[in-house]
Every structure is written in C-alpha cells, then in structure tokens.
Chains A and B, each alone.
Chain A
Amino acid sequence: MMRFSGLCSAIVLVVVSGLAQAGQEGWALFDKVQHAVKQYNFDTSFVVLKGGNADTYRWIHGVKGQQEIEHLIPLDTSGVDILRRDALVYYLLTDKPAFVTRGNSIPELPALLFEDKAVITELYNAVAGSSSVMSGRSAQLLRLTAKEGGRYHYWLWLDAETGFPLRIDTLSAQQNALERWLVTHMQISAEFPDTLQALLVAELPQPPAVAGHTVPQTAHQLTWLPQGFRQIAEPADLPQLADSLLSYWLLSDGLHQVSVFVQDSNRLPTQAFRDGATTIYVQTGEQLEITVIGPVSIEIARQLAAAVR
C-alpha cells in the first residue's frame, strides 16, 4: 500500500513539475518575443486575416542608443501611417496635422507583444508547444490560454532563432480561429534601418497637454463588469458623437478594451456582427440602443448590454 501511494505521489510530482516546467518554458518564450519586438532592428511585412478580409502592413523598427522608433505603414490604400518615437505615437494624416497620443506601443499592433507581463500572467497561462516549419524557418508554438472562460486564447508561433513572432492566431473560447496575424517577410539586422533615420530627427508636433477633464455625468449606469475588467476613469472625448451619444464607458482588462455606447433607440432588431476578433453587439430596447464593441464573446457583450441601467 505504501509503495503504491509512493508511486502515485511520484507520478503526481513528475506531472506537476512537468507542467510547471512547460509553464516556465512558455513564459521564457513570452519574454523572448517581447524582447525581440522591442530590441531588434527589423523590417517586416505582415497580413491580418479577418474572415475573408486581408490587410497588409509593413512594420519597421529601430533602436539607436536610448531612442526607439517604429513605423507602421498600411500597404492598402486606406489607413494612415503610424509612427512611434519612444513614448509618443503619431498618426500621420495626409490632409491634417499629425494626431499625437502618448503610448509605449502602437495600439494597431498586437497588444500582447507589448503589454506588461504581470498583466498577462494574471489573465493567461503560457504553455510551450511543438516546433514546426513556417515560411522556411523553424517556429516554436506558444499557447496563451485564458484562465477564465469568455476571454480569447492566443497561439503564437515564434522564430526559434530570434524569438520574433511569425504568426499569432486569436481563438474563441471554443478554439475557433477568429483572426490571424501572419508575418510574410522578415529581416532582422544589426544596423539601424536607413528609412527610419530621417523620421528619427524629423520635426513633429507636440502632444496636447493632458487636460484633466472630468468624467461625464451620465444618466445611465453600468451595473456589471466581466471578470478582470475595470472601467477606465477618463475615456477620451468623442465630439463627433456628442449629439447622439447618451452615455459611454470604456472597459479594459489591461490587454483588451471594450466600449459600451448608449444611444436613442432606432428600433432596429438586436444584432451581432464580427470584425475579426472584434464583436459588435447592438441591443435595441424601447428607448435605448446599447452597442458593445470589443474583443469579447457575444455572450459577454450581451451581458454587458443587459447591465446598463
């Protein structure tokens, strides 16, 4: 009996330590990918596949001394060039002066490549997967599995040599692929990219002073938040929607952002749409129409819409 229980505990120990090691290996891979996109000089192209749509971008990144710069160029006709120099992000519009925000990453790039590891570890388990060959390079799979149901999972394939992300799949809780981020070309070099040289020293507008605007007083309340989400205290002003918008909230779990908009009812049927991993849920009532937009499941969006009082 003693021997049997001893054997059992030994097996459990081996399994647990194996799992723990897989987790550690997973987080080590995660560190590697975050390091790669922050520290290397690279010139890469990627596509974002959403259903039948494909958007193509070029992404150039350089580090010179203490300065970091990256440039994201949409290769489709629509969209704007985005430039980040250290903690300032510039949206380079053609007919208007550049729109400037503060941020340590470009929000149009996959957020999990840049988000604080502490935030990610709260939400996800990391497991190193198998190796495969992708675009002629050896790729290592890293699975980020959500700790709570309703949150999307991520599967990352990293270049085994450099740790650079080659592919990121966003999967629903049912493991269906919703969106795919796929590198089509990648060049990592020791030298600072020439194309960024001019942009590094270019004169660019200063960000507007952060006005301590107060939270708009609204007639409605959001009575429920999904697990891990919190309300952002000072969401941006939306002057273009000031007439139609009755209330709005911005929620974040550190990695995903969800907006809830309240408008007068248009008496259209309750509908749900999906743009890649982004769910757009419109709930129409007698007087109010509530729209939830964000990378959450339709069930979460429905619960959020129902929580507006």
Chain B
Amino acid sequence: MSSEHQDWLSAASDNQQLTAQQLDSLLQDTELQHKLERYHTIGAVLRREPQSALTINFADDFAARLADEPQYQLQSNRGLVRRIKTGLSYAANGRWLQPVAQGAIAAGVALMAVFGVQQYQQSPQQDSLSPLPLLQTQPVAGFATPVSLSQTTVGDRFAEQEQQAMLEQQKRLQALLNAHRQQVRVMEQAQQASHDVKDNNGTANDGQ
C-alpha cells in the first residue's frame, strides 16, 4: 500500500495527472502532503535546481528590515558649493593668492600687447612697404627640378603646372627688369642727345 502510495505521489511530483480520489486523499492526509513536499525537494535536488532562498513570508521580512534601516540626513549640494566659494574668496583676499592673481592679469595684458603690436606692425607694412606681392629680384636659382618617377595625383600635377607657370612668369619679369636696368645704364648718352634737341627746340620756341 505504501509503495502504491509512493508510486502515484512520485508520479504527481513529476506533474502526472491525479485522479479525483487521489487528490481527495492528498488533501485530507497531511502525511501525504509532507511526502509530496519531500518528493518535490528530492526532484529539485536531482535536477540541480537551486533551492529557492525566498520563503513565502519574505515580503514581511523585507518590510521588517526596512523598518530597521537608520534614516540618513540627505542635504542639497548647494551647501558644498557655497563652502568652496567662500573658501576661494577668502583665499583671493589672502596673501598667497594675490601674487598669482596679479601674475595672471599681467600675463593677460602682455598677451594683448603682443597681439596689438603685431597687428599694429602688420597694417602699415601691408599698406606701404609691401602692398603687392614682392617680386624676387635676385635671379632665381635652381629652376631645374628633378623629374620624379613616382606617381602623382591630378591635384599635384595641377599645382606643379601652376608653380611652373609662376616660375616662368618670374623668369620673364626678371629678364624684363634686367632689360630695363640695362636701358637705364646706357641711357645717359641718348638722354644727353635728346636734352640738346629739347634745348634747341626750347630756344626755337622762345624765339617764336
């Protein structure tokens, strides 16, 4: 009988269907109920299911623990900020921070002065001494740039062409500038001649 009991109880612990009769006997017999609980526990252990730490009345325990917690006095952050501020203002009036603050102000003024002077120096120079791109008046040496076999991008080639054109232009202007200087050098005699012509014309005009 007992083995018979064990059979259906064990089956019930494995989620087998119970007959109405079996269910009635289970509800009436507390020993059977304990046995079913034991079977469930055995099954859980065999299936390596962790035993639940939570008991049925865990919520009550939780409430009781919360009630036992001490109350913390939470304050806003303003107090802390104010404390730092007051500390700083006190320090700024204090002796140790004054030279530091003065140094910072002096550095600021120096920086302004440097920037101001640079700008002041730049503007008249741009106006007067180099309002235009300066021409390199000395003959440009080293025109022949080595031909590179390495790959160049299209952009590089454009830049190269542009540079080439600029060099070409500079070379041409240099030649013209030299020609101008040559003209001025040998001009004296021609000018002397034209002076005479002009003087002659001048006297002729005066005569009229």
Contacts and interface: CB of A to CB of B under 8 A. Distances in A.
Contacts of A103: 185, 188-189
Interface in A207-264: 210, 230, 232-236, 238, 240-241, 244, 248, 250, 252, 254, 257, 259, 261, 263
A275 B177 contact: yes
Given A176-B128, A235-B183, A294-B180, A51 B165 contact: no
A75 to B, nearest CB: 14
Interface stretch (B49-57, B76-84, B92-100, B191-199): B191-199
A232 B190 contact: yes
A230 to B, nearest CB: 7
Contacts of B188: 101-104, 107
B138 interface: yes
Contacts of B186: 101, 236
A149 B96 CA distance: 65
Given A259-B180, A268-B169, A275-B137, A210 B189 contact: yes
Interface string B130-157: 1111110111000000000000000000
B208 to A, nearest CB: 20
A238 B182 contact: yes
Contacts, number: 119
Interface size on B, as a range, is: 35 or more
B190 A257 contact: no
A259 B176 contact: yes
B134 A51 contact: yes
Interface residues of A, number: 49
Nearest to B131: A274
A51 B177 contact: no
Contacts of B179: 238, 240-241, 248, 259, 261
Interface in B4-29: none
Contacts of A261: 176, 179
Interface of B: prevailing SS: helix
A274 B180 contact: no
Contact of A250 (B130, B172, B183): B183
A282 interface: yes
B134 A268 contact: no
A73 B187 CA distance: 22
B130 A240 contact: no
B127 interface: yes
Contacts of A101: 185-186, 188-189
A53 B193 CA distance: 36
B177 A280 contact: yes
B182 A172 contact: no
A288 interface: no
A178 interface: yes
A212 B182 CA distance: 18
B188 to A, nearest CB: 4
Contacts of B190: 232-236
B189 A102 contact: yes
Given A78-B138, A102-B189, A236 B182 contact: yes
Which 7 residue pairs spanning A and B have beta carbons closest together?
A176-B128, A103-B188, A273-B135, A259-B180, A293-B180, A236-B186, A234-B190
